[in-house]
A and B are shown apart, each in its own frame.
Chain A
């Protein structure tokens, strides 16, 4: 297994990079959709709800196959990585929409009114009053969703995007040590998840828990 440490490290970095990129893209989609649900036009809302429900009620693997194989069969070809990024971001966006909506909605209305009475415009109300509280509200849920996202990125190996899990199947095909390989690679995921949990708890203690 150690002979493959370079490959494993590369795979881990790719999986982490994929998680970071799609978490950012997905959060942007989720926040946009949440704002539409809260403040958007009545006509746009059913589309957002439809998107969220559809992606939350179908397996990610099928979404990935549809985007990679299905779209290619009607002329939209893309590389495995593009399909992976696309599918993960859209999927994550659907999961974070509800979290973001609830996080923003949980801020008492009175605060908006006091901001208005202080003469703050919409933008400053958002950046100075809403943003920090909204981030604090959604932080715990979003960090656990990011862990699920990271574990879920392993599925992109099924369209041969060369992430950490793909490295596992490569090593398995070379060494025929299937059982040990999957155990070892699963442990790499576990270590990363545990480190992320610790980091996220520290951020919570030092950034969010202290400020009332």
Chain B
């Protein structure tokens, strides 16, 4: 057992940077995937809808911990010698896409039907109505919950520690194992997460309030 020093704090900050990198990569990749899913849903094909519902149900109905370990081990069995970081980004992206596609689909569905009809009566095609009438409005509605989801993602990224990848929570465990100053370490780590998440939560709420004005 040794005392905590400044080096430990720097180590935690490095972990924090990895947490941020992990969350934002997953948000970006998951967002792209979700956009694709939402586009596929607009095709209104029964088969595609069923497949997407199964995908979303699978990722929303199983523990993220299970998903992470499944992909981590699954990919290595397939012969892909995959680093913990890649497995983590892959899993978190698939996980995010399931949630984001639902949020965005909801935002589009919330636009009154008449707006589609209005587009049609102006002689716009479906795609044109979508891009110039529906999406600009849906985007405004979708931004606050998307920002809110980022907070969920940052918090959930702590589970990546089980793969041994050194993000903030894993960094804390490692320092804890050699110093046993558990109260200070996990307290500090909680505060670091809070410092990261709280401003984003507030931003999300502010955007939400502005949207409803």
Q: Does A151 contact B (CB under 8 A)?
A: yes
Q: Does A102 contact B (CB under 8 A)?
A: no
CB distance from A190 to the nearest CB of B (A): 4
Segment among A40-48, A51-59, A122-130 that sits at the interface with chain B: A51-59
B201–A57 touching, CB < 8 Å: yes
Contact pick for B183, options A71, A157, A182, A187, CB 8 Å: A71
Question: What number of A residues sit within 8 Å (CB to CB) of B?
Answer: 38
A58–B194 touching, CB < 8 Å: yes
Contact pick for A186, options B63, B158, B169, B201, CB 8 Å: B63
Query: Given A182-B70, A185-B66, does the pair A155, B182 have CB atoms closer than 8 Å?
Result: no
Contact with B along A74-115 (1 / 0, CB 8 A): 100000000000000000000000000000000000000000
A193–B66 touching, CB < 8 Å: no
- Chain A residues with Cβ below 8 Å from B211 are none
Q: Is the interface of B mostly helix, strand, loop or mixed?
A: helix
Q: How far, in whole Å, are A186 and B62 apart by their CA atoms in the complex?
A: 5
CB distance from A201 to the nearest CB of B (A): 14
Contact pick for B182, options A56, A65, A178, A185, CB 8 Å: A65
B156–A59 touching, CB < 8 Å: yes
Q: Does B180 contact A (CB under 8 A)?
A: yes
Q: Does A141 contact B (CB under 8 A)?
A: no
- Chain B residues with Cβ below 8 Å from A63 are 190
Q: How far, in whole Å, are A190 and B169 apart by their CA atoms in the complex?
A: 27
A190–B183 touching, CB < 8 Å: no
Residue in A closest to B162 when the chains form the complex, CB atoms:
A158
Within 8 A of A (CB), among B91-129: none
Contact pick for A57, options B57, B65, B197, CB 8 Å: B197
Query: Given A62-B193, A182-B66, does the pair A57, B186 have CB atoms closer than 8 Å?
Result: no
CB distance from B88 to the nearest CB of A (A): 14
Contact pick for A70, options B67, B77, B162, B186, CB 8 Å: B186
Q: Does B151 contact A (CB under 8 A)?
A: yes
Q: How far, in whole Å, are A182 and B163 apart by their CA atoms in the complex?
A: 13
Q: How far, in whole Å, are A59 and B154 apart by their CA atoms in the complex?
A: 8
B183–A59 touching, CB < 8 Å: no
B187–A66 touching, CB < 8 Å: yes
A58–B66 touching, CB < 8 Å: no
- Chain B residues with Cβ below 8 Å from A57 are 151, 155, 193-194, 197-198, 201
Q: How far, in whole Å, are A66 and B73 apart by their CA atoms in the complex?
A: 29
Q: Does A208 contact B (CB under 8 A)?
A: no
- Chain A residues with Cβ below 8 Å from B157 are 59
Q: How far, in whole Å, are A185 and B156 apart by their CA atoms in the complex?
A: 20
Q: Name which of A73, A165, A168 has the most chain B CB atoms within 10 A of its CB.
A: A73
Within 8 A of B (CB), among A181-198: 182-183, 185-187, 189-190, 193-194
Q: Name which of A65, A154, A190 has the most chain B CB atoms within 10 A of its CB.
A: A65
Q: Does B139 contact A (CB under 8 A)?
A: no
CB distance from A166 to the nearest CB of B (A): 11
Q: Does A145 contact B (CB under 8 A)?
A: no
B155–A58 touching, CB < 8 Å: yes
B74–A194 touching, CB < 8 Å: no
- Contact sample, A vs B, 18 pairs, CB 8 Å cutoff: A53-B198, A57-B198, A59-B156, A65-B169, A65-B173, A66-B187, A70-B186, A73-B181, A74-B183, A151-B63, A152-B63, A155-B63, A165-B66, A168-B66, A179-B74, A182-B66, A183-B70, A187-B62
Residues of A in contact with B (beta carbons under 8 Å apart): 53-54, 56-63, 65-66, 69-74, 147, 151-152, 154-155, 157-158, 165, 168, 178-179, 182-183, 185-187, 189-190, 193-194
Known: A155-B65, A157-B65. 14 other contacts (CB 8 A): A57-B155, A58-B190, A63-B190, A66-B183, A66-B190, A69-B186, A72-B182, A73-B180, A73-B183, A154-B66, A165-B65, A183-B66, A183-B70, A189-B63
